[in-house]
């Protein structure tokens, strides 16, 4: 574990809006994966101008989502950034007390879903390049359960605890230099009620 706050809960509308910008979310995700990076490095990843990326990084920093990091090179002109926490969480209950807040939460949730769906589509398009081992390990499934709201909340809590355990294990291995065969893996879950 890095010692940073885990899954910082976003309750502020301004912070939510800062993150719910398509480019900013890509930059935040890229920075989460890299752990530390410069605007130049991130600009290359997202194929945007360094000046535009720098602007959006400053906006994320203004809202406390990212912060300056210790320089990783001797070039004093480079500004290094890192996430301010190990992940964020956004809960419906924090944005339902006003129509503007509820609308912003819905818009942000839709953006996050679309970006996650794009990540999965990219994997599907590139599947043949990952080889047998990764293809066998990758999973896409759907389970339709009959639960109460309390049972769904407990299921989510248990799944997040499991994901956190594997995250900590992977980070510890990286820190120890055990990087062979290790890739960045996205785990997306959606658990919601519906009526057929």
Summarised one tens digit per residue, pLDDT across range 69-106 is 998 877 777 899 999 998 899 999 999 999 999 999 99
List Cα–Cα distances, 167 to 7, 29, 59, 171, 188, in angstroms: 12, 15, 27, 6, 14
Where the chain has pLDDT below 70, the residues are 1-3
pTM (predicted TM-score): 0.85
- pLDDT of the residue at 101: 95
- pLDDT of the residue at 4: 80
| Nearest CA-CA partner of 83 in 68, 99, 72, 71 | 68
- Which sign, positive or negative, has the C-alpha torsion 124, 125, 130, 133? positive
Reduced to 3 states (helix: H, G, I; strand: E, B; else coil), residue 80 is strand
- pLDDT of the residue at 2: 57
- Which sign, positive or negative, has the C-alpha torsion 131, 132, 138, 141? positive
């Amino acid at each position: 574990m890095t010692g940073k706050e885990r899954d910082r809960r976003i309750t502020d509308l301004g912070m939510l809006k800062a993150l719910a910008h398509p480019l900013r979310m890509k930059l935040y995700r890229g920075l989460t994966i890299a752990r530390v990076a410069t605007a130049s490095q991130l600009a290359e990843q997202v194929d945007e101008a360094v000046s535009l990326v720098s602007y959006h990084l400053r906006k994320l920093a203004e809202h406390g989502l990212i912060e300056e990091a210790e320089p990783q090179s001797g070039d004093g002109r480079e500004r290094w950034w890192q996430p301010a926490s190990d992940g964020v969480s956004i809960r419906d209950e924090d944005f339902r007390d006003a129509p503007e807040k509820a609308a912003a939460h819905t818009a942000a949730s839709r953006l996050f879903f679309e970006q996650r769906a794009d990540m999965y589509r990219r994997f599907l398009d590139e599947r043949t390049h990952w080889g047998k081992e990764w293809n066998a390990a990758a999973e896409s499934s759907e389970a339709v359960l009959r639960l109460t709201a309390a049972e769904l909340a407990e299921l989510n809590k248990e799944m997040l605890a499991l994901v956190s355990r594997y995250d900590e294990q992977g980070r510890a291995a990286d820190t120890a230099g055990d990087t062979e065969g290790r890739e960045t893996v996205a785990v997306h879950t959606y658990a919601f009620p519906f009526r057929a």
